[in-house]
Every structure is written in C-alpha cells, then in structure tokens.
Structure 1
C-alpha cells in the first residue's frame, strides 16, 4: 500500500492555519490506516458462534431428560386412601401410598426430581458415576433412575443396613459400599472424588431439586406430592384442602417442598413435622438448635438406637446446616411433634390391624396424626389429615417386625417386647376408643 501527500506551497493560496490543521488530520488518518491494514490481513476472523456441548453430549442430555419425563407419565398418581379410625369419627385420615411407585417408596418422586436437576445442570453426563449416602430407600430409587438414564450408581450404606433394603438397591443395578453409619456421607463424597464421579448428596441438594410449583393440567405435570393430594381429594373424594399435612424428615426435601407449595399458594393447610424420639430435628425446627454443634460438642445429645429408619437427624456427626447436611427448611413448618421410638415400632403392628402394611416412618406419621385428632377432638365439622406411606413393612421383617430383634437387638435398651406390647395396647385403644395414648399415664410404658 503506497501513500502520497502534497504539501501546500507558499504560492498555493491555502497557506492558512485551517489548511495546516486539515493537513495534520489527513496525515494522522493515513498513518493509522497504514498500521491497521496489515493487521486486518493477518488477524483471523473469530467464529460468530461456538458449541458449548458436543453433539454427542447434547443428544445424551436430551435423551436422558426425555426418559425421565416418560417416567413421570408412567408414575401417574399414587393412591390416596381413606383410613377409618373409630375412635375419632370427626377426623378423616388419608394415606398417600407411595409404595405403589416403581421403586417401592416415597423416594421415587424425590429422586426423579434430584436426577432431573443433576442432568439439567450438567452434573451428570453420559459417563458420570453417581454416588450417594443412603439409608436404603433413596438408594433404591437412585439406582432405578440411574439405570433408566444409563449411568453407574453406588450406594454408600451403613454396615448394618437391612438385607431387604440391600436387595432393593441391587435389583435396580446399584452397587453397595458398606461403611460405619457415621461415615456414610464422608465416604460417598471421597469415593466420588477418587473416581471422578458425582456425589449427588441428597441431604444438601434436595432443596434445589424438589418441585414446589403448580402445573395445572400441563402435560409435564408437577411431581410435588401435595399437588397430587389436592387433585385427588378434589376429583376422587369431592373434598377441599386438608387441615393438616403430617410428615417426618430424612433429607427434609419432601416436607419442605410441601411447605413451600402450601406457603407459595397461600393454602389453608398446616404442615406438621413428625420426629423420632432422639432426633435433633425437633429442636432444630423449633429454635434453630444444633446448627453449630457437631457430635461430641457440649450441648449436643448423643444419638440413641434404634431410631426410625430413614428419618431424623443424629447419625450424621456434622452440624445441621441448611443446603449442606439437610434440606429441611424450618420456615415452612407450622408445628413439630415427637414420638417415642418404641411407640412408632408398636404402631407398625397396630396399622396392620387396619390393613396397612407400612414401615416405621409411616407409623410415626400416623401416631402424630392420631394424637392430633384426639387432642383436637372436633365436634361439629370434620377435619382432614394427610400422611404419606413412605415404604412397606416388608422391608423390616428382620428388624422392627421381628420379635427376637426387638427383645435382643438395639430396642432392648428401650424396654424390648414388654414396652412394645404396652405401647401397642395404648395405640389400639386410641384407634378404637379415642383414648389419648400419650397423656393417659404416660410413664406406664417407660418412656
């Protein structure tokens, strides 16, 4: 590129300040152009767009999400069953039977949401191996959903986990790693780090994964369990909202998602947390206790076996920290209630007399509902309470429903069979005659 410029002469008639200013401007422009033109020819033009995901990654994610939505359509609504309790004729009890799900427990819908969240956010990809700490039910559902989308899954479980629950996990293709119960979370995280996998952490991530929005009749229906409860009460029983929703907390995800749903849509239902005897959740929800205390710290009580399988807080040595060690959101819970562990075990047997073969957490939920019904004792208008049947009694044939285990296993320190039978008599009387099983001579069963 050649540049030429003629300077004004003294005889040109343009030897003025303005002409010299114009000359300076032209020279500056030409100089800048001489510098930029070579750069323009040498510099490559960048792509206007670039793909963030490869074609294969994008196709895998689309297929995985479609498989999950197909599963949601298959899930449909689990049954909502009315239970007749003669002792409280003005209270209607409904049980949402989540054992009818494909993986057999309440955790099926929760894990569906958890896996969908992880795939959507790119935490699970085609070659990701998933790890989690579990008491069994979440593990079975995680194994099911991971197999559905084609990724490997390992459940890190307590070394004394019921064999029935181990089989439930392995039948869906899950692998088992047994460790001391207090090390479950730690080992799940470490194994994921060591292998380049993903620790899905149901306790910390349930809050972000659980659905709490209304979907109406949109084809991609909300998985929120209270959405289904409201729909089924309306369409199958011609009833409005229940006065109480009563549920226990393991991860805290289910009861918190229900609480957020009820709060968001300003519904006239109270949310009650049902907690086990030695769990820390009761005081955490009530007054935010134990959010800065680890196991062994002064002021934090020790966990006492047997507990209620899959719920409560105590085995985890860490403080109770929202979005970290729990997804239980205190601010959407209206009431808290606590029941003796032996009463919950006894209630499993009492429920069988009503035709309900349920696990210990369901029995705990029912106990709190029964107590509330007797305590409120409505006279003029019926009230409704809804609980969830989280897992079946068959998972506990070797433990809670086994007399030898109750007498000689961990429940022996709470009174064994003698205490269990005492509680069962009290609960049966409450079911049949409306007698308050807690306030009537409460020390007779050595609580």
Structure 2
C-alpha cells in the first residue's frame, strides 16, 4: 500500500490562490537561477588508440541538482507557471524514479510551493534524501506500474497539479534553441576540429531530451544522427522497432533514469535515426570503465550512453572513418553507492560486469573491434539512416 504523504508546511488548505504578481515573481526566480548557473562542460575524452575519432561528454552532473533532469524540471515549472497550472500555494506532484523529483523539489522550494514525489519503493536512498533535503515529500509505492495513476490521484486529493514529466517533457522544452541542450552542444563544439558530430548517443527516460535533440538537428539541417540507447525491461526499443506504441514491459528497468514500462508520450520515434538495446550488465561495465578514465564516478544511465557511443566508434574505426561523437554524463555515481557500485548488490542480481569491462577496456586501449552483441535497429524512414 502507498504511504500517505506527510503534510507540507506551505500547503494552503483553502486551495491555490491566483495572483499574477506571484506568478511573475516565480518565473523571475527560476530565470535568475539559470542566469547564475554556468552552462555544463563539454569534456573531450582523450583516447589515443582512436586517433581521428573525437569523443565528447556533455557533463550534466554539474547542474545544481546534479543531473540532466535539472534542465527538464526548469522547463516543466516554467511551462506549468506560464500555462496557469501552478499558482501561489499549488501543491506539485510528480511521478518519478528519482532524479526528476530531486530537481523539481529544488524548484518547488525556490518558489515556495509544496512538492510530492510518487516513486517506486526501490528508489535509491540517496535520491530520497536529496528530495527531502529540498523540502519535498516522498510518496513511495510498491507497484511501479501504478506510478502514473497514483500521482494523478494524489494531485487530485491535494487539489494540486500533476506535473506529468512523461507527457509534457517533449513540449515544455523549446527545441528550436533558447540554450537547450542541443544548442549548447553545438555552440561548445564550434572551436573543435570536427564541430559537426557524426552521432549523438543517449538514453531515454521520458524521451524529452531525445525529442529536443532530434528536432533541433532537423531544424538546423545538421547531418548529425541521433542514436538512442535503451535498456532491458523497457518498451522504447520495441516501440521503435515495430513502430507500435502499444508495447509494454511488466518488469521495471534496473537502470534508474532510463527505460520505461510503456512507450511514453514524450518519446518521438520519428526523430531517432537508430536505437540499441544495451544489456544491464554491459551498462554497469561501461559505467565502471568510464568512471576510471574520468577519475570520478558516473551513474548507470551514463554507462548505457557510453557503451552505445563506443559501439558506434568501433564501427567507424572498422570502416576507416574519422569524425566526432557526443554523449551525456547524466549524473554522478555518488547516488548509486548502495546499488550499482555495491558488489553485494550486483551479486544478489547475478550481475558480473568484469568480462564486459575487459572487452570495453581492450577496445579503448587498442581500437580492436568491440565484441559486444546488442539488439540494434535503424529507422528506415530516416533520411539520414545508415546501411
């Protein structure tokens, strides 16, 4: 049974109050926060064995709330405020596996509205602590399949607003520019030897970031292609492969932040050029390998991204192609000390990343082909699809 949320100190029992001046102040506060925050770094990963193939990592872990979801949360709050969904005193509710809720709790605290995160009970303790640090309430449920319904029901009970990141992620962000993540990447690449990357590789949680990047590539008429890496126990890959949005997956994804049990409304298959399905154990191996090379830990979803990028790099190397590749560091590994970085946790789930780490390290050290079989499909309708 779900836990009943604890009362929030800012909650107004009489219901939200409409005051245009408060909305103006809230938008100004969020915009001021963005002005204070420098853009995230674009790191070049030096891999001597891959001479001619430049690898870049957009480090989203440096946002104030520590993840890629900071951008999404900011956009969702501005969207809800400017559409009249959030008023003074409006309780905000979100369905989340963790990182989005951390970021939304930050913005809710900033503008003084109560925040409730409906999350699976399996969400890492570190993420729960971060949400509570920003004044949010964690509403934990046992059945992840009930996440959406419980969030909507809780918002109704509180006379609040259900943010619904999985529906509104793709429309809340201005994909034409306005310093979105795609525009930021291309601006930062301007002084590089190969400023137009061959591929951008990334995972999908809501699908909003891949929609933003894919649309921006088409809007700017760039030749760059978009590869989305999915994980086990997720519906996105089968949705893309069959062009059927009805696919569902009964088991939840093991990799937090990516993969969903249904094809979320914000996932836009038509802007994706290629998808891979990465085994969980290979994701964790790639997370470990990249963490050692960066000399700091990254999260699991970053491992998914990095492995997809390395597979593309291996193909380019085998074909004698030069170019540049970009992927994302979604968050820090500090949030996963009790899960992906815990040997006991891995052993309990029958996961041994060591053989995959050896294979990936060998590729990065010698440029020998990366021997890793993954499910892979190209969008036949994409004008930039590959053979």
| Fold equivalence (TM over 0.5) | yes
Q: Does 2:190 match 1:234?
A: yes
Q: TM-score normalized by structure 2?
A: 0.88
1:372 to 305, 309, 312: 312
Native 8 Å contact 1:90 1:379 kept in 2:
no
Residue in structure 2 matched with residue 312 of structure 1 by the alignment: 259
Pairing 1:427–2:360 present: yes
Partner of 1:282: 237
User: Is the Cα–Cα contact under 8 Å of residues 53 and 324 in structure 2 kept in the other structure?
Assistant: yes
Alpha-carbon distance, 1:194 to partner: 1.0
Q: CA deviation at 1:376?
A: 1.5
Shift of 1:208: 1.5
Distance change (3 Å), C-alpha of 1:123 and 1:155? same
| Greater Cα radius of gyration, structure 1 or 2 | 1
Q: Secondary structure at the match of 1:82?
A: strand
Is 1:255 paired with 2:218? no
Cα distance in 1, alignment partners of residues 151 and 26 from structure 2: 24
SS of equivalent residue, structure 1 residue 96:
strand
Structure 2, unpaired ranges of 5+: 1-16, 376-387
- Superposed, 1:28-427 pairs within 5 Å as 57-180=19-142, 181-214=144-177, 222-235=178-191, 237=192, 239-289=194-244, 291-293=245-247, 302-303=250-251, 307-314=254-261, 319-320=262-263, 325-355=264-294, 356-377=296-317, 382-408=322-348, 411-412=349-350, 416-417=351-352, 420-427=353-360
Residues 10-25 of structure 1 mapped to structure 2, 5 A cutoff: none
Q: 1:351 to 1:422 in 2, by over 3 A?
A: same
What is the SS of the residue equivalent to 2:293? coil
TM-score between both structures, scaled by the size of structure 1? 0.76
Q: CA deviation at 1:278?
A: 3.0
- Offset of 1:398 from its aligned partner? 0.3
1:353 partner SS = helix
Deviations 1:139-164 (A, max 9, x none): 00000111111111011111111101
Go from structure 1 to structure 2 and tell me whether the alpha carbon gap of 1:425 and 1:239 turns closer, same or farther (over 3 Å shift): closer
Determine helix, strand or coil for the equivalent of 2:19.
helix
Matched position secondary structure for 2:230: strand
Change over 3 Å in CA distance of 1:105–1:193 after alignment to 2: same
Going from structure 1 to structure 2, the CA distance change for 1:336 and 1:129 (only over 3 Å counts) comes to same
- 2:195 counterpart SS class: coil
> What secondary structure, in the 3-state scheme, does the structure 1 residue paired with 2:174 have?
coil
Q: 1: CA distance between counterparts of 2:18 and 2:158?
A: 22
Deviations 1:81-106 (A, max 9, x none): 00012342221110010111001100
Rounded to whole Å, the distance in 1 between the matches of 2:155 and 2:238 is 32
Contact 2:282 2:356 in 1 (8 A): yes
3-state secondary structure, aligned to 2:324:
strand
Bigger CA drift: 123-132 or 177-186?
177-186
The separation in 2 between residues aligned to 1:171 and 1:353, in whole angstroms, is 29
Instruction: Tell me how large the CA RMSD over aligned residues is.
Output: 2.2
| Counterparts in 2 of 1:380 and 1:342: CA distance versus 1, 3 Å | closer
Question: What is the CA–CA distance in structure 2 between the aligned matches of 1:370 and 1:263, rounded to whole Å?
Answer: 24
User: Does the aligned pair in 2 maintain the 1:90–1:378 contact within 8 Å?
Assistant: no
Q: 1:262-317: CA deviations, max 9, x gaps?
A: 1112111101111113322112123223x2355xxxxxx543x6621111122xxx
Contact 1:349 1:424 survives alignment (8 Å): yes
Asked whether the 8 Å contact 1:109–1:223 carries over to 2, the reply is no
Distance 1:104 1:438, change over 3 A: same
- 1:253 deviates by 0.4
Distance 1:248 1:439, change over 3 A: closer
Paired position in structure 1 for 2:12: none
Find the residue that maps to 2:48 and give its secondary structure.
Answer: coil
Alpha-carbon offset, residue 367 of structure 1: 0.4
